[in-house]
Amino acid sequence: MYANDGFRELQRPECLHLLASAPVGRIVHTRHALPAVLPVNFSLDGDGAVVLRTSASSELVRAIDGAVVAFEADEMDAATRAGWSVVVTGAASVVTDAAEHERLTRSGPRSWVPAPREVFVRIEPELVTGRELVGGTLRPAAARWP
Protein backbone atom coordinates (compact mmCIF):
# COMPACT_ATOMS: atom_id res chain seq x y z
CA MET A 1 0.00 0.00 0.00
CA TYR A 2 1.38 3.37 -0.97
CA ALA A 3 0.47 6.11 1.49
CA ASN A 4 -1.06 9.43 0.49
CA ASP A 5 -1.74 8.60 -3.12
CA GLY A 6 -5.47 9.35 -3.09
CA PHE A 7 -6.72 5.81 -2.53
CA ARG A 8 -8.56 4.40 0.46
CA GLU A 9 -6.84 1.50 2.14
CA LEU A 10 -8.94 -1.65 2.51
CA GLN A 11 -8.81 -3.95 5.50
CA ARG A 12 -8.07 -7.66 5.22
CA PRO A 13 -11.71 -8.87 5.43
CA GLU A 14 -12.76 -6.42 2.69
CA CYS A 15 -9.80 -7.51 0.58
CA LEU A 16 -10.66 -11.21 0.81
CA HIS A 17 -14.34 -10.49 0.11
CA LEU A 18 -13.46 -8.60 -3.07
CA LEU A 19 -10.86 -11.17 -4.09
CA ALA A 20 -13.48 -13.92 -3.84
CA SER A 21 -15.57 -12.05 -6.41
CA ALA A 22 -12.80 -11.87 -9.03
CA PRO A 23 -12.68 -14.56 -11.71
CA VAL A 24 -9.09 -13.85 -12.71
CA GLY A 25 -5.98 -12.60 -10.95
CA ARG A 26 -2.35 -12.08 -11.85
CA ILE A 27 0.62 -13.84 -10.39
CA VAL A 28 3.63 -11.61 -10.00
CA HIS A 29 7.02 -13.25 -9.68
CA THR A 30 10.57 -13.21 -10.95
CA ARG A 31 11.61 -15.01 -14.10
CA HIS A 32 15.17 -15.02 -15.41
CA ALA A 33 15.88 -12.26 -12.87
CA LEU A 34 13.19 -10.04 -14.43
CA PRO A 35 9.79 -9.06 -13.05
CA ALA A 36 7.10 -11.27 -14.58
CA VAL A 37 3.31 -11.32 -14.45
CA LEU A 38 0.76 -13.82 -15.70
CA PRO A 39 -3.07 -13.79 -15.52
CA VAL A 40 -4.58 -16.99 -14.12
CA ASN A 41 -7.90 -18.16 -12.76
CA PHE A 42 -7.89 -19.18 -9.13
CA SER A 43 -9.93 -19.93 -6.06
CA LEU A 44 -9.68 -18.73 -2.50
CA ASP A 45 -9.19 -21.39 0.14
CA GLY A 46 -10.93 -21.12 3.52
CA ASP A 47 -7.95 -19.48 5.18
CA GLY A 48 -7.57 -16.84 2.47
CA ALA A 49 -4.83 -18.70 0.59
CA VAL A 50 -4.92 -18.28 -3.19
CA VAL A 51 -5.04 -21.62 -5.04
CA LEU A 52 -3.98 -22.03 -8.66
CA ARG A 53 -4.19 -25.13 -10.82
CA THR A 54 -1.68 -25.65 -13.58
CA SER A 55 0.28 -28.23 -15.54
CA ALA A 56 2.84 -30.03 -13.38
CA SER A 57 5.44 -29.43 -16.09
CA SER A 58 4.73 -25.72 -16.57
CA GLU A 59 7.50 -23.18 -16.36
CA LEU A 60 5.26 -21.22 -13.99
CA VAL A 61 5.47 -23.96 -11.40
CA ARG A 62 9.25 -24.11 -11.63
CA ALA A 63 9.42 -20.31 -11.37
CA ILE A 64 7.25 -19.91 -8.27
CA ASP A 65 7.45 -23.12 -6.19
CA GLY A 66 9.15 -22.08 -2.95
CA ALA A 67 9.31 -18.39 -3.86
CA VAL A 68 7.55 -15.38 -2.37
CA VAL A 69 5.12 -14.05 -4.96
CA ALA A 70 2.36 -11.47 -5.19
CA PHE A 71 -1.11 -12.24 -6.47
CA GLU A 72 -3.24 -9.33 -7.65
CA ALA A 73 -6.86 -8.94 -8.70
CA ASP A 74 -8.66 -5.73 -9.51
CA GLU A 75 -11.72 -4.21 -11.04
CA MET A 76 -11.20 -0.78 -12.52
CA ASP A 77 -13.65 1.31 -14.50
CA ALA A 78 -11.87 3.93 -16.58
CA ALA A 79 -15.14 5.77 -17.36
CA THR A 80 -15.98 6.46 -13.71
CA ARG A 81 -12.37 6.27 -12.49
CA ALA A 82 -13.52 3.93 -9.78
CA GLY A 83 -12.42 0.51 -8.67
CA TRP A 84 -10.41 -1.59 -6.32
CA SER A 85 -7.23 -3.66 -6.27
CA VAL A 86 -6.19 -6.37 -3.84
CA VAL A 87 -2.75 -7.97 -3.46
CA VAL A 88 -1.90 -11.14 -1.56
CA THR A 89 1.83 -11.58 -0.91
CA GLY A 90 3.30 -14.81 0.41
CA ALA A 91 5.19 -18.01 -0.24
CA ALA A 92 3.97 -20.15 -3.13
CA SER A 93 4.26 -23.91 -2.94
CA VAL A 94 3.04 -26.93 -4.86
CA VAL A 95 0.54 -28.99 -2.85
CA THR A 96 2.27 -32.34 -2.35
CA ASP A 97 0.00 -33.84 0.30
CA ALA A 98 -2.22 -36.45 -1.39
CA ALA A 99 -5.29 -35.81 0.75
CA GLU A 100 -4.99 -32.07 0.25
CA HIS A 101 -4.58 -32.55 -3.50
CA GLU A 102 -7.69 -34.73 -3.50
CA ARG A 103 -9.66 -32.12 -1.56
CA LEU A 104 -8.61 -29.37 -4.00
CA THR A 105 -9.51 -31.55 -6.98
CA ARG A 106 -13.08 -31.39 -5.69
CA SER A 107 -13.22 -27.84 -4.31
CA GLY A 108 -10.33 -25.99 -5.99
CA PRO A 109 -10.18 -24.06 -9.25
CA ARG A 110 -10.84 -25.63 -12.65
CA SER A 111 -8.22 -25.41 -15.40
CA TRP A 112 -8.99 -23.21 -18.37
CA VAL A 113 -6.52 -25.26 -20.37
CA PRO A 114 -6.54 -28.77 -18.88
CA ALA A 115 -3.21 -30.62 -18.93
CA PRO A 116 -2.53 -34.34 -18.54
CA ARG A 117 -0.95 -33.96 -15.12
CA GLU A 118 -1.98 -31.00 -13.01
CA VAL A 119 -0.85 -29.64 -9.68
CA PHE A 120 -2.25 -27.11 -7.25
CA VAL A 121 -0.17 -24.20 -6.04
CA ARG A 122 -1.00 -22.45 -2.78
CA ILE A 123 -0.02 -18.87 -2.10
CA GLU A 124 -0.04 -18.18 1.63
CA PRO A 125 -1.93 -14.99 2.57
CA GLU A 126 0.92 -13.61 4.67
CA LEU A 127 0.26 -10.03 3.60
CA VAL A 128 -3.14 -8.95 2.27
CA THR A 129 -3.50 -5.35 1.14
CA GLY A 130 -6.05 -3.48 -0.92
CA ARG A 131 -7.04 -0.06 -2.13
CA GLU A 132 -10.19 1.52 -3.40
CA LEU A 133 -10.77 4.53 -5.59
CA VAL A 134 -14.23 5.99 -6.06
CA GLY A 135 -14.77 8.46 -8.85
CA GLY A 136 -11.18 9.66 -8.89
CA THR A 137 -11.50 10.95 -5.33
CA LEU A 138 -11.16 9.46 -1.89
CA ARG A 139 -14.12 7.44 -0.79
CA PRO A 140 -15.66 8.89 2.39
CA ALA A 141 -14.85 7.06 5.58
CA ALA A 142 -18.53 6.12 5.86
CA ALA A 143 -18.31 2.81 4.08
CA ARG A 144 -20.71 0.33 2.63
CA TRP A 145 -18.69 -2.31 4.40
CA PRO A 146 -19.98 -4.16 7.45
Site for a copy of itself contains 23 (CB under 8 A): yes
CA 127/CA 26 separation, integer angstroms = 16
Site for a copy of itself contains 41 (CB under 8 A): yes
Tell me which of 29, 101, 103, 139 binds a copy of itself, using CB under 8 A: 29
CA 74/CA 2 separation, integer angstroms = 16
Stretch that binds a copy of itself, among 8-16, 45-53, 100-108, 112-120 (CB under 8 A): 112-120
Within a 10 A sphere around the Cβ of 142, how many other Cβ atoms? Answer: 6
Number of chain positions touching a copy of itself (CB under 8 A): 44
Site for a copy of itself contains 93 (CB under 8 A): no
Residue 79 exposure: Cα atoms within 13 Å on the Cβ side: 0
Q: Check the CA dihedral 97-98-101-106 and report its sign.
A: negative
Q: What angle do CA 43, 49, 50 make, to 5 degrees?
A: 40
Contacts to a copy of itself from residues 58-77, by CB under 8 A: 58-60, 68-70, 72, 74, 76
- Indicate the residue among 98 and 141 with the shorter CB distance to a copy of itself: 141
**Cα dist from 86 to 3, 23, 100, 105, 112, whole Å:** 15, 13, 26, 26, 22
Site for a copy of itself contains 38 (CB under 8 A): yes
Site for a copy of itself contains 78 (CB under 8 A): yes
Distance from first CA to last CA of the chain, Å, rounded?
A: 22
- Indicate the residue among 23 and 146 with the shorter CB distance to a copy of itself: 23
- Contact set with a copy of itself (CB under 8 A): 2-7, 23-24, 26, 28-30, 34-39, 41, 54-55, 57-60, 68-70, 72, 74, 76, 78, 81, 83, 85, 87, 89, 112-113, 115, 127, 133, 136-137
